Amino acid sequence: MASYEGSVQRLIDEFGRLPGIGPKSAQRIAFHLLKLPKEDAHRLADVIVEVKAKVVWCKRCFNIAESDLCSYCADERREAHLVCVVEEPKDIVAIERTAEYRGKYHVLQGAISPIEGIGPEQLRVRELITRISGEGITEVIIATNPNIEGEATAMYLANLLKPAGLVVSRIASGLPVGGDLEYADEVTLGRAMSGRREL
């Protein structure tokens, strides 16, 4: 493909590096931006800069946060003995929408996937173990995605945590198999949370 003048091509290349955006879409978004009023383009640029400056990983649970602790870790009304383990911050949002859960969270930042070279070492598993002993956690709910990688991760964690005498449960099936928590509707996910099974 022939390339464009300097910064336009650099912009296209940057968009092309984003997940799910092919060369054609990258080009379309770049040309859309060129046509935007200056203020609109600046607002987008500013929020990208701001997000990178302000947003960090919560030191405790690895959710996104704007200070050391995320809002869930900082909220003392939440039950501290109960932790729900998810793959990504977006899964917390999905579970919160159900209004069924009042404990803490732990974000693994992924799932076991040998194809992508991701094993337990690449996930926030060690940090979870440290939290369990340090925070008096007695019950762990595993809410990884109901797909191959999420199931493998759930089984791995269960094998690790059960011998330590913790109550370990997996959110109940009824979720669309092979799916993402993100796409489960609130009612289904709510039922899955309340009907979790012990591992």
Query: Could you list the residues that contact another protein (CB under 8 A)?
Result: 22, 24-25, 112-115, 117, 119-120, 147-149, 151-153, 155-156, 159, 177-178, 183
Q: Which of residues 32-71 bind Zn ion (CB under 5 A)?
A: 58, 60-61, 63, 70
- Most distant CA atoms of the chain, gap in Å: 63
Which is closer to Zn ion, CB of 60 or CB of 196? 60
Which is closer to another protein, CB of 75 or CB of 116? 116
137 interface partner picked from Zn ion, another protein, none, CB below 5 to 8 A per type: none
At position 82, the amino acid (one-letter code) is L
Which is closer to Zn ion, CB of 27 or CB of 63? 63
Nearest partner of 98 among 5, 192, 165, 16, judged by Cα:
192
Smallest gap from Cβ 67 to another protein, in A, equals 34
Scored b (16 or more CB within 10 A) or e, 124-145 reads bbebbeebbeeeebeebbbbbb
178 interface partner picked from another protein, Zn ion, none, CB below 5 to 8 A per type: another protein
Number of residues that bind Zn ion (CB under 5 A): 6
Smallest gap from Cβ 181 to Zn ion, in A, equals 18
Which is closer to Zn ion, CB of 107 or CB of 192? 107
Which residues partner with 83 through β-bridges? 104, 140
Site pattern 69..98 for Zn ion (x: CB under 5 A) = -x--x-------------------------
Q: Is 195 helix (H, G, I), strand (E, B) or coil?
A: coil
Q: Which position has the token pair 């992924």?
A: 110
Phi, psi angles (nearest 5°) of residue 162: -55, -45
114 interface partner picked from Zn ion, another protein, none, CB below 5 to 8 A per type: another protein
Which is closer to another protein, CB of 69 or CB of 172? 172
73 interface partner picked from another protein, Zn ion, none, CB below 5 to 8 A per type: Zn ion
Q: Which position has the token pair 């598993």?
A: 125
List Cβ neighbours of 139 (8 Å cut-off, separation of 6 or more). 81, 82, 83, 103, 166, 167, 168, 169
The three-point CA angle 170-176-178 to 5° equals 85
Instruction: Give residues in contact with Zn ion (CB under 5 A).
Output: 58, 60-61, 63, 70, 73
